[in-house]
Structure 1
Amino acid sequence: MKQRRLLACAVAVLAATGGFAMAQRKPMPDNARVYIIWPADGQVIPGGKFWVRMGLSNAGVAPAGIVKKYTGHHHLLVDTDLPPLDQEVPNDKHHLHFGLGQTETRLELPPGRHTLQLLFADDAHIPHDPPLYSKKITIIVPP
């Protein structure tokens, strides 16, 4: 009986609040900008091994878990579109996290056309408000 009452209370709370609470997005200055320094859009990369250099202006880089106003860390999206901007960034082979505050990484991609895009997110991997993401670039790894 007690468990039924608890379950009924939980259902009532969810109904009253519209379901599970979404993550609170942290603010970011309107003039903040994230960008890929290297490689350039359209770059041909023989061998497929290269450094990606990540840039940020008018905001700061901080490791995941560190809460400080106008800071966050980079996420590199490889061969994928932007994820939902009100949820935690996925962590898989297409969504690379740089939660230690890294601003460069070495990638190795197979021959073909690939896309790269940066998405900056807060201490909990949630994109800011407004969301901060770079232009999507294409690179080519020849066979």
Structure 2
Amino acid sequence: MKPMRHLALAISLLSVAPMSSAQQHTMPENARVYILWPSDGQVVRGGFWVRMGLADAGVAPAGVEKANTGHHHLLVDVDLPPLDQEIPNDRNHLHFGLGQTEARLDLPPGKHTIQLLLGDENHVPHRPPLYSKRITVTVLPAGTP
């Protein structure tokens, strides 16, 4: 019976423990992340390539802890998520955890916003967070002149 009481106590402590924000890594003060292509206001057709830039820091895949590095996350049609928590992973928060610096996007026709947010090996923004300017692109249907 004694082991079961310990298990019940451990479970009850886990269920009431407050959730804390993730440990954040620092980055060089002059580091910055930016979208190389497309430019703000650009009109693109069908699927298009996004080229991601990072200055004064390095790119490393998710799961690799190395000072002054991170990997890109592309935010599509959403605001910045909480900057002290893991970046969500869904159709509006695209993770490039292999260290990619370019990606093909297939967005429906219309106006869209895109923005980069750099995350560490655990997909948590750095301190201070590194994010690009949010840009707007207009996607035309594939095959339009």
TM-score range, shorter chain: 0.7 to 0.9
5 Å-filtered alignment, 1:31-110, equals 31-45=30-44, 47-110=45-108
Compute the displacement of 1:22 (Å).
2.2
Compute the displacement of 1:6 (Å).
5.4
Deviations 1:56-105 (A, max 9, x none): 00100000011100101000011111111111111111111100000000
In the other structure, the counterpart of 1:129 is 127
- Greater Cα offset, 48-57 or 33-42: 48-57
CA RMSD after TM alignment: 1.9
**Pair 1:14–1:48, CA change in 2 (3 A):** same
SS in 2 for 1:75: strand
- Specify every segment of 5 or more residues in structure 2 that has no aligned partner in the other structure, as ranges: none
Deviations 1:110-141 (A, max 9, x none): 11100000000000000000000000000011
Letter in 2 for 1:49: G
- Specify every segment of 5 or more residues in structure 1 that has no aligned partner in the other structure, as ranges: none
SS in 2 for 1:133: coil
**Pair 1:13–1:49, CA change in 2 (3 A):** closer
Instruction: Count matched residues.
Output: 140
Letter in 1 for 2:43: V
CA contact (8 A) 1:14 1:20 kept: no
- Greater Cα offset, 20-29 or 54-63: 20-29
- Inter-partner Cα distance in structure 2 for 1:86 and 1:77: 16
Compute the displacement of 1:19 (Å).
1.5
Question: What fraction of aligned residue pairs are identical, expressed as a percent?
Answer: 65
**TM, length-normalised to structure 2:** 0.87
CA contact (8 A) 1:28 1:130 kept: yes
Compute the displacement of 1:14 (Å).
8.2
**Pair 1:93–1:9, CA change in 2 (3 A):** closer
